[in-house]
Amino acid sequence: MFAFLKKLDNKNHKPTFGALKILKYIGPGLLVTVGFIDPGNWASNIAAGAEFGFTLLWMVTLSTIMLIILQHNVAHLGIATGLCLSEAATKHTKPWVSRSILGTAMLASVSTSLAEILGGAIALDMLFGIPIPAGAILVVIFVGVMLFTNSYALIEKIIIAFVSIIGLSFLYELSLVEIDWVQAGIAWVVPSIPQGSILIIMSVLGAVVMPHNLFLHSEIIQSRQWNLEDDAVIKKQLDYEFVDTLVSMLIGWAINSSMIILAAATFFSKGVEVNELQQAQSMLGPLLGNNAGVVFAIALLFAGIASTITSGMAGGSIFSGLFSEPYDINDNHSRLGIALSLITALLLIFMIGNPFKALIISQMILSIQLPFTIFLQIYLTSSKKVMGKYANTKFTTGLMLVIGSIVTFLNVLLFISFF
């Protein structure tokens, strides 16, 4: 679908811009948002809140700030060049560099899909008692049908609806508990690393700043593409895209924060240890009422399905980029990338003993791959050869290098924690 958009000559179709026109730009950012309110985030955030209370809320804030900068920058790449991150890597770096990084990105996509599919399967188990392996198969079949038979425009509308349902679900959950908002407010902005928390911190980071979302955003932002030769149009696209990204990421920040706050107010305050999402759901009923547990499971199901759709799309984009092709559901490389991401993840689920632990570890794996994607992105978006006059300023490059360094430093802490 995006192959068509890239080939289309729209020189005579210049968009008009106004206050209401920005609504036409809302969408790509929300597809990215659903990726970081996925089941992996649920596991990481509930573990963070249940074990450490409000203490790790700062990590959601830091991760979201980094995410806004990174996602806007990678969307900048898509708008200015007409290439997604995977295509740009293949075109502008040596083959051994692009294949190595894109290979690890595909592994990250599989890890992401594992968490998404597993979350949907856990929700089906909660709601209908369907065994997790069977539920995982149902999720993959449903997502496969959605991806292979629907247009991007329809998928975008469905994802926006799902994000709305998830957000409303957590507003309902929060309305049922008493929260110390002063303590939460302090925790949002004051960093703290309690003993034994580094694994959870890294899983929260990997669950928010996700490698596959960087590849996905640079691709789907081109669904809003018009004339790449008109500087005024590109400038407007960049401005409106930033609003889409900012609003969408803030929605994600609010939902992720809600998960930690709910777990802290419900489980940490009562000294309850949570080892699986089913346990969290079953305990919400007695603590907050039966409706709370049902709403929790329904929101998890929508999160699992929606994020599996976007992780599949990301897998297709990464894999097709290896062959210097854009994501196109009618192209075999894109289809194969989707299949590799979803089917490999499904097979791994059959070998998992502890689903909750697998969700957290899957997010940790994402955080380990993340520096490679970030530094690839910095190289590409800072290059005048790639971006022309839209290359990063020195300030932007410096800011992104700081982000890459923070992520790398946290990975070093994670490595040290194992010894």
CB atoms under 10 Å from CB of 20, counted, come to: 7
First-to-final CA distance of the chain? 48
**Model confidence, pTM:** 0.83
How far is it, in rounded angstroms, from Cα 388 to Cα 293? 52
Highest mean pLDDT among 27-36, 151-160, 275-284: 151-160
Answer for the pair 77, 241: CB distance below 8 angstroms, yes or no: no
How far is it, in rounded angstroms, from Cα 277 to Cα 274? 8
Residue 133 has pLDDT above 90, yes or no: yes
Average pLDDT across the chain, whole number = 83
Q: How far is CA 39 from CA 32, 42, 49, in A?
A: 14, 5, 15
CB atoms under 10 Å from CB of 129, counted, come to: 8
Q: Kindly state the average pLDDT of the residues 198-227.
A: 77
Nearest-5° angle of CA 385, CA 2, CA 335? 110
Answer for the pair 217, 74: CB distance below 8 angstroms, yes or no: yes
For 413, the token pair is 């802490």
State the pLDDT confidence band at 11, using cuts at 50, 70 and 90: very low
Q: Kindly state the average pLDDT of the residues 54-79.
A: 91
Question: So what's the pLDDT on residue 370?
Answer: 85
Question: So what's the pLDDT on residue 357?
Answer: 72
**Which comes out higher in pLDDT, residue 272 or 103?**
103
**Which comes out higher in pLDDT, residue 130 or 156?**
130
How far is it, in rounded angstroms, from Cα 329 to Cα 334? 6
How far is it, in rounded angstroms, from Cα 122 to Cα 276? 10
Domain architecture of the chain: domains with CATH: 21-417 (1.20.1740.10)
**Which comes out higher in pLDDT, residue 364 or 316?**
316
